[in-house]
Structure 1
Amino acid sequence: MTAVPKELDDEHSQLGNRHPKVSVCIPAYQAEQYLQGVVDSILAQDYPDLELVVVDNNSSDGTRAILEAVKDDRLRVIRNTTTLPVFDNWNFTVRQARGDFVKLICVDDALGPGCIGVQAAVLESVPEVALVSVRTDYIDDDGEVVMGSRGLPGIVGRVPADRVVRQIIRSGANPIGGPVSVMFRRTDFERSGGFDPNYPFLADMHLWVRLLRRGDFYGVPGTHASFRIRRGSMHGLTSAREQLAQSIEFDRLLAADPRWSISTADRVRGRVRCYEQTLRRTVLFASTTWRVKRRGRRPIALKEVVDAGSGVQSSGTVGSLTTVICAYTTARWEHICQSVESVLAQDFTDSNVVVVIDHCLELYQMACDRFGSEERVTVLESSQERGLSGARNAGVEAADGDVIAFVDDDAVTEPGWARALMRHYRHERVAGVGGYAAPVWPEHRPAWMPTEFDWVVGCSYTGQPTELAAVRNPLGCNMSLRRSVLDTVGGFRSEVGRIGSHPVGGEETELCIRIAANDPSAMILFDPEARVQHHVSADRTTLRYFRRRCYHEGMSKAVVTELAQATKALSTERSYTLGVLPRAILRESMSMRGDGFARAGVMVLGLAVTTSGYLNAKARRWLPTRRAR
């Protein structure tokens, strides 16, 4: 018998009876571990017309207290008087939605920025589409990415329903994704009957197919959500044998439905893939659980990072910010203007911008004409050695902020970037803070390009933290440092760093190693909420550039190890090489897809070329010393 729900309190829902365009629904039970994170990811969406409906399924932990502490008019909280079965509660939660479009999210998953806006735009502009899905990152209990950008193989863009169902059969898996991936129309959900509890492992897939009877499918190519791989999830609690049995029965039912036109060849291929996918899921859940146990920690929170050193004191102040943007070519003029304007648009008022022109008179004149009258912008020519390190040092000399941020001339800061960086500087042990850099491809990501190698184009990559964490060094295109620290240890070394379009780097790595050597208690933080959009030029999307960048990265790391004179100078690279890359190569090799094999091959190539560059630089520096003896 279904329990009669009741509102927690009237003050917690101030939406009245208005009908928003989108309802995001969370069925919550004993949810205190992950609830705050998923609620924050939803309320941080930039889509204006949404409501968040949370149904607390009679939890006895801290779920209720967390929800009561959220002060946001968009939140509606309902509490069941008794605990409903899982899928009864899912259906009940969706039926509380008032919006035209609905998104159900399990409490341990999360949305990425812009997810709701992207999906709602499709449903609003294309009435014939019944189901919209995005790609997801698979994360573990600690929030670290296990597999990046998963889902939608062969079903990107608008795809007829019968072709999607055929892809379901042929893949032996769920190419559409779980509830966090999709958005659908509330009226279609009501007519389709909701989630079927008779197929617990495939309840979402059963519903997706029934929704596809009412319209087409649209696959959004971007990655806008995170799906958590954990033993306590429905996938983790269903045995491999039961998963396989449900998959085979589901395929049989689809094949028997004449509207989908499933061929014998589709069924044979799907049957083989069912066995393969069941094995892969079992291995994935087991390996993820092992990794989390081995790591032996919970997700890193700000307080834990700040308290990592003994005697940490809070200064209570944040200070002023100067953003240094270095530029060297007129070819990036449009991006330079966007970069400067995005920083000026930040809601952190005590800030200014220094634009450093690196030995290009024409660009200097253009910048003076454009920004010379802007009170908060200083345009100057670099008087130091040509190259990014020299230009940054010139910017530091001209800066007057307590904190100095560095943003590339082809990177655009997102709203809230400055505050996300600056909030950490109230803690005196924080020496620097960096953020996330999302790639903006000229047309689309090359199919052969693995996300683990996005550092090649100066962007965040799979293997980096996904939550606030202490790191050795941030990405150079989106980093900030305390001015007093720079005054103490000195600026960027000219022996490393980019000169024009020459694809070398490592200057921020060497500087941060120097900071740690000078003060072991100093912390460099990575905050994924401090985001920039980093434009990738067309010439950087070629395999030729990939090889050159990897080779020069190896050479740079060889120089860094000598300059730093530190035994742990390459600790980050070792964990990446021994942990992240082998898992990624295995994952792509097991995908049994052409683009997966290509990405696996490119990762092997990238590692080999980087190692070659490192060894070559080491040999070049060792031989003269050897001969001198």
Structure 2
Amino acid sequence: MNAEITVVIPTYNKAAYISQTIESVLKQTYQDFEIVIVDDCSQDDTELVVQEYLSDRIRYFKHLRNWGPGATFNDGIEKANTEYVTLIASDDILLPNHLEQVMLQFKKDDLVETVFPKLKVIDENGNDLNEVIEQPFFDKYKMLNHLFYAGNDIPSPGVSFKKSLFKKTAAYNRNLIMMHDYDLNVRCLIHGKIAVVDEPTVYYRRFSNPIINLSGKTKWLDMCLSIESKFVLDNYLSLGYDDMKKIFPHLEACNRKEIKFRFLIDACKNKQVRLSSWAFERLVSCLENNKDFLILMN
């Protein structure tokens, strides 16, 4: 069939929830879609549940070994037969107007390559928690500034892309376990034009058990967050001179040669360890490669 947008559903051991996710897609007001389900080697009954839904518009693929979240998202995007894709976890739910609102944003402006949704939060039993998660800013430069200092604050369930974006920047970093969405959010803002849906179109399921949400305070998770945060922050060092001044207005007076040094020096002074430790490491590396920097600063 010739669909216009693909709903990619990565899944891992979500047999209890994935039927709700699939049903929410089938009930969309915008019906010109296909569904690609990528099972990252589930050990539960996910495959049995999904088999009941397979058709010419719903395809299912199962990994023989666990690839991890980023690689599984990428696999689904690659298997999509359409230019537009929207991603939804297999325990979250699309509201009926999600695809309609996403396609409206893409059609309004052909330059838009990423559309971010707003979310309503539900618990594991589907109860509405009366909480809405939305983007902190609509301006991409303010949003990039916020993401640098505050961390990942953009809703990811239901995020939608034009696949042409990935000709300018890679899709999800398959080496990141915790921050694959944070990393891609930053790069989407750096490399392309974004739009935001005006109203919540996704139910995001928040589990009471923090381990299910991968937010438990374990040594392994803390180590992942520390290491992966540095990969994400490195994206800011790829910024051009003009963009860096727009994102960080306090650097307005810096010239081209000094601006990244000043940026790192300021970050070294930040009270957040994730920022100061990253900046110190990168500053040392920059100084090693730019021996004349101290002369320049004097």
**Under a length normalisation based on structure 1, what TM-score does the superposition of the two structures give?**
0.37
Which of 73, 90, 93 does residue 107 from structure 1 map onto? 90
State the shift of 1:212 in Å.
2.8
Output aligned runs, 1:232-271, within 5 Å.
232-233=211-212, 235-236=214-215, 239=218, 241-242=222-223, 245=226, 249=230, 252-259=233-240, 260-261=243-244, 262-263=247-248
Q: 1:183 aligns with which of 148, 156, 160?
A: 160
Cα separation, 2, equivalents of 1:274 and 1:138: 30
> How much has 1:244 moved relative to structure 2?
5.4
Q: 1:243 to 1:75 in 2, by over 3 A?
A: same
Distance (Å, rounded) in 1 between the aligned partners of 2:273 and 2:153 = 13
Q: How far did 1:120 drift?
A: 1.3
Residue 184 of structure 2 is matched in structure 1 by 207
Match of 1:163 among 120, 142, 156: 142
Q: Is the Cα–Cα contact under 8 Å of residues 248 and 274 in structure 1 kept in the other structure?
A: no
Match of 2:202 among 225, 229, 232: 225
Which residue matches 2:14? 31
Deviations 1:195-244 (A, max 9, x none): 11333221112112223343212122311112222335464357463475
Give the drift of 1:113.
Answer: 1.8
> What is the TM-score of this pair, normalised by structure 2?
0.73
Contact 2:114 2:161 in 1 (8 A): yes
Paired residue for 2:79, among 96, 115, 129?
96
Counterpart Cα distance in 2 of 1:190 and 1:92 = 16
Structure 1's unaligned 5+ residue stretches are: 1-14, 276-629
Q: Structure 1 residue 127 and structure 2 residue 110: aligned?
A: yes
Q: Work out whether residues 57 and 84 of structure 1, in 8 Å CA contact, stay in contact via their aligned partners in 2.
A: yes
The alignment status of 1:59 with 2:42, answered yes or no, reads yes
CA contact (8 A) 2:177 2:224 kept: no
The Cα shift of 1:144 comes to: 2.4
Please report how far the alpha carbon of residue 61 of structure 1 lies from its aligned counterpart in structure 2 after TM superposition: 2.1
How far apart are residue 71 of structure 1 and its match? 5.7
What is the aligned residue count? 252
Identity of aligned residues (%): 21
Tell me the SS of whatever aligns to 2:172.
coil
- Whole-angstrom CA distance in 1 between matches of 2:92 and 2:212: 10
2: CA distance between counterparts of 1:123 and 1:273?
Answer: 37
The one of 174, 191, 195 equivalent to 1:197 is 174
Tell me which residue corresponds to 2:296. none
Residue 291 of structure 2 is matched in structure 1 by none
Counterpart of 1:227, as a letter, is Y
Whichever residue aligns with residue 59 of structure 2, its letter is R
Alignment of 1:80-95 (within 5 A): 80-95=63-78
Give 1:41 shift: 0.9
Cα drift, residue 251 of structure 1: 6.4
Indicate the structure whose relative CO is greater, using CA pairs within 8 Å and at least 6 residues apart: 2
Residue-by-residue CA offset, 1:401-454 (whole Å, 9 max, x unaligned):
xxxxxxxxxxxxxxxxxxxxxxxxxxxxxxxxxxxxxxxxxxxxxxxxxxxxxx
1:338-371: CA deviations, max 9, x gaps?
xxxxxxxxxxxxxxxxxxxxxxxxxxxxxxxxxx
Which residue does the alignment assign to 1:492?
A: none
Three-state SS of the structure 1 residue aligned to 2:37 is strand
- Cα pair distance change 1:274/1:51, threshold 3 Å: farther
Change over 3 Å in CA distance of 1:241–1:61 after alignment to 2? closer
Instruction: Pick one of 152, 168, 184 that aligns with 1:174.
Output: 152
Query: 1:248 Cα deviation (Å)?
Result: 5.2
Letter in 2 for 1:162: Y
Mapped to 1, the partners of 2:119 and 2:166 lie a distance apart of 22
Rg larger in structure: 1
